[in-house]
Amino acid sequence: MRTLTIEPLTKEAFAPFGDVIETDGSDHFMINNGSTMRFHKLATVETATPEDKAIISIFRADAQDMPLTVCMLERHPLGSQAFIPLLGNPFLIVVAPIGDEPVSGLVRAFVTNGRQGINYHRGVWHHPVLTIEKRDDFLVVDRSGTGNNCDEHFFKEDQRLILAPHQ
């Protein structure tokens, strides 16, 4: 099994998988008579059909035991999915490029700085939310509509990956 190296999350490194939602280095302008800085269009909500709706939810996640064996990844073919940390805690991200199924050798792992959110593009393979804290809350923006919007892929035993504890 290959052990994933956890990389710091940057806009450039994450671009093949989606958007990093952060204020650092992002375009902005003043609104509300100069009292508010608006960081505009940090990510785009993707939906597959005009009938789909963008929805906002809160996910409360519990930490997984580390080291974690990455046995599966999922994707959402009909819409993007954004995770914004509500409590300011870093979290882990495991992703693979868009394709019919994830390729074990192309899987990457990232860690946020606690002020960054992410928006997975439609069809990007990813692990379900991975909190570092015992329990954490995330604001989630994704799609609601008809059709199956969650495909799961389970790796064969020799394709599984190890995610070591984050230092």
Determine the pLDDT at residue 127.
98
pLDDT at 2 over 70: yes
d(CA 150, CA 131): 20
Dist CA 92 CA 130 (whole Å) = 5
Q: Provide the pLDDT for residue 53.
A: 96
Task: With a cut of 80, say whether residue 167 has pLDDT above it.
Answer: no
Mean pLDDT in residue range 18-40: 94
- Domain positions in the chain are 2-163
pLDDT tens-digit map of 71-126: 999 999 999 999 999 999 999 999 999 999 999 999 999 999 999 999 999 999 99
Residues counted in the chain: 167
Residues 6 or more apart from 4 whose CB is under 8 A from it? 70, 94, 107, 108, 109, 161, 162, 163, 164
Closest to 117 (Cα-Cα) out of 95, 145, 96, 138: 138
**Cβ-Cβ contacts under 8 Å for 149 (sequence gap 6 or more):** 76, 77, 78, 79, 143
The architecture of the domain spanning 2-163 is Sandwich (2.60)
